[in-house]
Amino acid sequence: MKLLTGSLLRKLIFLFLVVVVIPIAALSWIASQSARDALIRTRIADLQAINEIKKNQIWSSLERLKLNCELLAKSRDVRLAYDALHQYHDAGGKLPDGSFDVKSNVYRDLYVRIGQFFKDYLKVYNFRDLYLICSKHGHVMYSVKKGPDLGTNLASGPYRDSGLARLWKQVVATGKFVLLDFSEYAPIGQPAAFMGTPIRGEDGELKAILALSLDGSQLERILSIGKKAGTSDETYIVGSDMLMRSNSHFNPRGLLRQKVDTVAVREALDDKIGTAIITDYRGIEVLSSYSHMGLNENFGLDFEWVIITEVDAAEALAPMTALQNNILGLGGLLLVVALAAVFFAARAIVLPLNLLMSKVRQMADGDLTTKIPATGRIDEIGDLVNAFNRMVGMLHSQTSQLVEGAATIGSTIAELSATTSELAASASQGSSSVSEIAATVEEIRQTSHLSHEKAEEVATLAEQVMRRAENGRQETAMAIAGMDEIKVDMAAIAKGIIHLSEQNQSIGEIVEMVNSFADQSNMLSVNASIEAAKAGEHGKGFAVVAQEVKALADQSKEATTQIRRLLGDIQKATSNAVMATERGGKAVDKGVEQSEKTGVEIDTMADLSRESVDASSQIVASSQQQLVGMDQVAQAMESIKSASRQNVEGARQIEAAIGSLDELAEKLRRLSDGLKV
């Protein structure tokens, strides 16, 4: 802030430095960023190439290991070794506890006889160990290293949960080549991976399992040879559990012991391929290229690996650091040169300005006779000195004229002041009158608003009455229609009751007929009883039947008597219903007549309500027009009132301005008295 508010020399130096430093800094930053981006692209391309090459080499190595394992299982030496071990197995090599006898002299001789071929094979192909396993029982019948697992039973022995046991089970189950991921293997005390393939007899039957173990050295050789991205670069493999499947350049015992939970590993486990600048498992910033191996897609394996290639960012970007140091050195040198140039350039500008400043101070003190000696400079500074001298001469002339005009302004202001006072008094009176008229108009406008509101309320009530009348008309019409329907229904009921009466008469005739049949049956039963008595012993059965017929006839007669009594009651009720129906019909006729009269009255009331609504609407419209007119009058009076206030205020402002001019004239007189011209 001192540089920005101090002398011109410091300001110029500061500004020139800013002008120089900002371009240098911007160019340096752009150059360093461009170089950094180009360097990162180059390094990343190298890492991607190395990562892809290593992945292809591992694929080729796995293909080769699989092919060698399958060819070895089909070789004559393996078949002969298995036949010899199988004969020993069947001849008593299987112990009662389920293990395999590997301590007998017979087995020792057998081991020496078949072992040289397998030892040579391990040296050539760099496997850790080779096993021959009984497919049926799981006996480890042969091992080149003769470790603790030799002779054990993989089905029930101490290593039944080991990777070798899982390999034996999967090969027996599938009958195909199997490769298992690295896991801790107790017999050797370190991680191991296993691959195995079936050994079949001449008939194609599965006889044994050929198993090979890997300790990670095979992968280490592939990952350690070839092109390097720097001294700190490394390529390693990580499993889905985020543990290393190869020893690291910085952790020689990292296999299954070093956890790598980084962005690159997580992205690769999600089947992504890419590059990034990340923090590695050591907590160091690195350039990383990552890719998934695709073991399931390419080899049908039930596990997955990812391959990571990384180099320390500090080493990868070391050329960028050197370039930045060179840019900073060059920028410092340019800054020193610019500082010297700026100092001398600013000094050449500031010294003439200081002389000019001293002359201006003399003018500020009232001396208008001062001048600056002419210089021989033809630049802007020389032009400034010449212009200053011309300005001093012009000020001298104008000040003389100003002294003369100050006296004239004083006399004129006095006359304007008197005239303005009269104008202000007149405007104030006019404003008071306009305010009284505006108040009266406002009262009339409020009264018009109230009348308009009452007219709207009357119109609203009239509309409600009209709607109620219309509703009454509709309800009356519906009532008349309902009465007509009731009249029709009453006629139908009367007709039905008359028909029912006719049916009752028919039923009475039928009852009379049944009563007659009962009398005849009674007579027949008497005659039958007489004839049965005549027949003697042979007519007893017929007498019983005659007695039953007589009883049935008596019951029928009693039933007809009850039916006749019920029919009499029904006929009385029917007669009463017919009379009630006739009375109801007459009442309905009277109701219809009364409803029609009510409808006529409601129609008349609806017409009157409609006329009332029309009249109310005309009153509201007229009131609205009057209200609009009063609003316009009120607005006009308000405008006149505002204009009157503005006139009063303007007169006062003019009066104040004249007072200010008077003061200004007095100041001009005092100022001209202090000038030296």
Per-residue b or e along 316-352, where b marks 16 or more CB atoms closer than 10 Å to that residue's CB: bbeebeebbeebeeeeeeeeeebeeebeeebeeebeb
pLDDT, residue 119, reads: 92
pLDDT, residue 130, reads: 96
Helix/strand/coil for 138: coil
pLDDT, residue 157, reads: 92
Handedness of CA 470, 472, 478, 483 (dihedral sign): negative
pLDDT, residue 517, reads: 66
One-character DSSP codes across 310-369: EEEHHHHTHHHHHHHHHHHHHHHHHHHHHHHHHHHHHHHHHHHHHHHHHHHHHHHTTBTT
DSSP 93: I
For 111, residues 6+ apart whose C-beta sits below 8 A from its C-beta are 102, 142, 146
What residues of the chain score a pLDDT lower than 50? Answer: none
Cβ-contact 149, 159 below 8 angstroms: yes
Nearest to 138 by CA among 160, 119, 123: 160
pLDDT, residue 230, reads: 65
For 522, residues 6+ apart whose C-beta sits below 8 A from its C-beta are 550, 553, 554, 557
Number of other CB atoms surrounding residue 177 within 10 Å: 20
pLDDT, residue 424, reads: 60
The two tokens of residue 393 are: 């001469």
Query: What domains appear along the chain, each with residue ranges and CATH number?
Result: 399-672 (1.10.287.950)
Q: Where are the beta strands (DSSP E) in 19-71?
A: none
Secondary structure in 3-state letters for 245-269: CCCCCCCCCCCCCCECCCHHHHHHH
pLDDT (tens digit per residue) in 195-207? 999 999 888 899 9
Helix/strand/coil for 145: coil
pLDDT, residue 664, reads: 72
DSSP 150: T
Q: Where are the beta strands (DSSP E) in 24-143?
A: 129-134, 140-143
For 468, residues 6+ apart whose C-beta sits below 8 A from its C-beta are none
End-to-end CA distance of the chain: 41
Between CA 471 and CA 473, with CA 472 as vertex, the angle to 5 degrees is 90
pLDDT (tens digit per residue) in 375-422? 666 766 777 777 767 777 777 676 766 666 666 766 666 666 666 666
pLDDT, residue 484, reads: 77
